[in-house]
Structure 1
Amino acid sequence: MITSGIIAQPTVNSTLDAIASVLGSGSTTRVDVAAAYVTTGGVRELLLRMNGALAASWPSVRKRWLVSFDYFRSEPVALGMLKDLPKSDVRVHDGERLISQKCTPSVPFHPKAYTFRSAERHAVLAGSGNLSRSGLSRGYEAGLFLEVSNPVGVNEKGIQESVKRLQKWFDLTWNGAEPLSNQLLARYQSLYESTPQLSHPTPTDDDTFAPTGLRSLSPDDLVKLRACRRFWIEAGNITKNLGTNRPGNQLMMRRYSRVFFGVPATNVPQNSPLTRLEVSFNGVPKDDCSLTFSDNGMDKLTLPVPGAGGPTSYDGRNLLFTRIRPGIFGLELGTSSQKASWLKNSKAIGASFSMSPSGRQWGVF
C-alpha cells in the first residue's frame, strides 16, 4: 500500500507535521536523517516532536544522522545533542577534509532527507528544509513524503523500488562519512568558536529578525547571540518578586536577549511567554525556568530560587550562562576579575553591550 503527502510550509503542512504523521501511522524501528545544516532550534523542535510521536519506543529506535560542517552552519551544541541520544550515531560528510579547509567544502553537502523503517513499512521524506527551526516549521519550504507498507500491490513496485534506491543512497553516503567522535566534535567546536569566526559568524536560516524594535541590537548582533555558547550579564538590583524580605529571582535583560536562549527575534505582545528552559546552578537543575517578554519591554528570565536551588542572592552579582544542550543551560557566578575576562572575550568579537549608555554590562562569547 502507498501513502503520500506534501510539505507546503508555512501554510499547509510543515516538515514537522509530515514527520509526526509518518511516525504516527505505524511502527518505526529505524530513523535515518541526512541534513545539510543542523541548528539548536531545529534539533530541539524535531526531538520534541519525535519523542512525542514515538513515546515509550523512542529510546529503542535506531537513529543515524548524516550531517556536515560546511561553512560552519551546523552548531556544535546541536550535533552533540544528536550524538548523545540513545541508540544514536552521527557521521560527518567529508569531516576531516572540512576541518583541514576551515569548513569550506570541496563539494557541498546539501540533502534534506528522512527515512523511517520497520519490518512492515518504509517511508521517505525529502524536501527543501534544513534541520533548523525555519526549515522544519516556520520558513517557506516544499517537499514530498511516500510510505510503502505491506502488502505492496503489483502496480506499486516501482514506487517501492524508488524508496529503496533513496535508502541505498543514504547507506552508501553514510559508509563514506566520518564518525563524529568526541575528538572530531571538539576540533570543529574549536574552529567554530575561534575569534575570527565568532566575529563574523555564518548566518543560518534561523537568523531571522523583527523589522522594528531592535533598539541597539543589529541583525549582526543577533547572529552572534545565536552562535555564541556563553552569555554573561551584570544582574544589578533584582526585583523582590518573592516577597519584600526575600531576594528575587527575575532577571531583566535587553529585548531579544532571548535569541541566545533559543527563541527567535520576532515581535510579540508584552507579557508573552517565550519558552521554558532548564537552568542548573552548582549541578542542581531547575527545568521550568520561564522566559517572558515583560510589560517593561525587556526579556525576563526566572532563575532558580535563591537558597532553594539557587545562590543566596543574585543582587549585584555577575552571571554567566553556558549553553549545554538546546534549552539546557549552566549558570555560575563570577568575580570581578572573571567578569573582566568575559568582557574582554566579548569585546574581541564585537559582542559587548550595555543596557543603556551607563547601565548594566552584558555580552556573549
Structure 2
Amino acid sequence: MKAKAFIQSANDQPTTLAELLRVHKWAVTEAFLGLYAYATQSGAVAFDLAVGDGFWNDIPSRWLFGIDYGRTQPQALRYMIEKSNAEVRVYDGAWVVEKDGFLPRRDFHMKTSFLINNSNGRYGMVVGSGNFSSNGLRQAAECGASFLASQKLEFTKTFRSAYESAENLWNVATPAQDIIEEYEKRWNSSQASSAGDSDEPAPNYDEVGAFWIEAGYVTRNRGPEKPGNQIDMPRGMNRYFGFDAPENLAVNSIIGNVTFESPSGELVSNNLRLGNNKMEKISLPIPETHGFDMYDGKVLVFSPIGDRFRMRALEAADFETAFGHRLGAVRSMGSGRRYGYIK
C-alpha cells in the first residue's frame, strides 16, 4: 500500500481536491463514497468544476453530509441531489432537522472519501481536516493523507474496515430528499432571525462602513469549466457604491465605474450597469488571478477605502461569525439572496 501525507496551502503541496482527483484517476473509480461534516455551495461547485460531467455520468456516487448546527447550506444539498448517479443522505437527518439550532445528539465530523474499483482491485481513500467547502477542499490551511491499495489483500489489511464502517453510517442515514424542504425552510428562518431587523430604514449610504450580498449560484459566464465572475444585484444597490442612478435609467446603461481591491492587492475596475432584467450587473475580479477561489455560495463583503472597495468572499458560516452581530437592515431579493450593510 502507498500512503501520502500533505499540508494544503503549503508550498509544493497538493490540495485535498487535487489528491481526490489523483486517486480517482489512479483507481479508475467505479464507485465513490464521500462523507463530510458539512457542505457548502462553493464546495459542491468546486468539486463539480474539477471532475466534470464525466464523473457524474459514469460513476455512481454516494454522499453523506451532516447538518449539525445548520452549517450545511441547503443549496449545496440541492445541488448534489440534482447530479446524475448521485445519492445524498444526511447523518441522523430526521432527528437533527427537528431540533432548535439543528443541535445533534452526536456530532458528525467525518471528512473522507473512498474511491473503489473492485474490477481492477484498486482501492483509494483520501482523509483530512478539510470539509466539503471550497476553502476546505483547496484554499484553507488543512492537512490530509491519501492511501492506495493495489490488491484486495492490501485493502483488507488497511482501510477496508473503515470503508465498511462508513457504509454502515450511510445505510442508516436519512435520504436528503426526505428532509430537504423542511431543512431549507427552517434554515432560512434561522438565518433571517439572526440577521437583524428587515424593517429598519435605509441607511445613510455615505456613512456605511461595509456592505454585503449573498452571491448564490454564479452563472459560468467564462465557460463551463471556470467559475463565474458576474453577478446580479438588486436595483438601488448602486447607492452603496456611491452612485445615485435615476429610477428611469434605460436598460444596458452604465451606472458608474467601480474599483475593487482584491486579496492579491491588485486593483480591478469594472462598470456597474443596469441589465435587461432591470438588475444591476457587475463583473468581479477574476477568481484565479486575484486571490479568490470562487464566488458561488459565498457572501461578498465590500469595504469602502477612499475611491475603491476592498472585497472579501466569505463562507456563510464565517460571515455569520464575523459580522452576524453587526448587520443592519437585511433585505431579500426575489431569488432569496440577502444583502445589506454592516454597522
1:106 Cα shift? 1.0
Q: Provide the secondary structure at the position in 2 that maps to 1:350.
A: strand
Paired position in structure 1 for 2:17: 16
Distance in 2, matches of 1:81 and 1:136, equals 17
Paired position in structure 2 for 1:363: 340
Deviations 1:27-58 (A, max 9, x none): 1121110000101111111111122xxx6354
Distance in 2, matches of 1:199 and 1:254, equals 33
Structure 1 residues 137 and 301: alpha-carbon distance in aligned structure 2, compared to 1, 3 A threshold: farther
Paired position in structure 2 for 1:216: 209
Distance in 1, matches of 2:68 and 2:258, equals 33
Paired position in structure 1 for 2:115: 116
Paired position in structure 1 for 2:267: 270
Residue 56 in structure 1 maps to residue 54 in structure 2: yes
Residue 165 in structure 1 maps to residue 161 in structure 2: yes
RMSD over equivalenced CA pairs, Å: 3.6
The correspondence of residues 166-185 of structure 1 with structure 2, limited to 5 A, is 166-181=162-177, 183-185=178-180
Paired position in structure 2 for 1:47: 48
1:143 Cα shift? 1.1
Distance in 2, matches of 1:228 and 1:180, equals 20
1:238 Cα shift? 10
Structure 1 residues 74 and 84: alpha-carbon distance in aligned structure 2, compared to 1, 3 A threshold: same
Any conservation in 2 of the 1:18–1:145 contact (CA below 8 Å)?
yes
Distance in 1, matches of 2:217 and 2:80, equals 19
Structure 1 residues 88 and 252: alpha-carbon distance in aligned structure 2, compared to 1, 3 A threshold: farther
Deviations 1:56-79 (A, max 9, x none): 354121011100110110001111
**Letter matched to residue 192 of structure 2:** L
Any conservation in 1 of the 2:254–2:273 contact (CA below 8 Å)?
yes
1:88 Cα shift? 0.6
Deviations 1:297-328 (A, max 9, x none): xxx5678xx6xxx34xx4xx689xxxxxx849
Deviations 1:240-297 (A, max 9, x none): xxxxx983368867969xxxxxxxx8454112xxxxxxxxxxxxxxxxxxxxxx26xx
Paired position in structure 2 for 1:286: none
Q: Provide the secondary structure at the position in 1 that maps to 2:76.
A: helix
Structure 2 gap ranges (5+):
196-207, 219-231, 282-294, 298-326, 332-338
Distance in 1, matches of 2:24 and 2:89, equals 23
Q: TM-score, normalised by structure 2?
A: 0.63
Q: Provide the secondary structure at the position in 2 that maps to 1:193.
A: helix
The correspondence of residues 23-34 of structure 1 with structure 2, limited to 5 A, is 23-34=24-35
Equivalenced residue count is 254
Identity, % of aligned positions: 21
**Letter matched to residue 43 of structure 2:** G
Q: TM-score, normalised by structure 1?
A: 0.60
1:113 Cα shift? 0.6
Q: Provide the secondary structure at the position in 2 that maps to 1:171.
A: helix
Distance in 1, matches of 2:173 and 2:129, equals 22
Distance in 1, matches of 2:149 and 2:217, equals 43
Q: Provide the secondary structure at the position in 1 that maps to 2:44.
A: helix
Paired position in structure 2 for 1:333: none
Any conservation in 1 of the 2:217–2:296 contact (CA below 8 Å)?
no
Distance in 1, matches of 2:40 and 2:168, equals 25
Structure 1 residues 114 and 57: alpha-carbon distance in aligned structure 2, compared to 1, 3 A threshold: closer
**Letter matched to residue 189 of structure 1:** E
Distance in 2, matches of 1:63 and 1:95, equals 19
1:225 Cα shift? 3.5
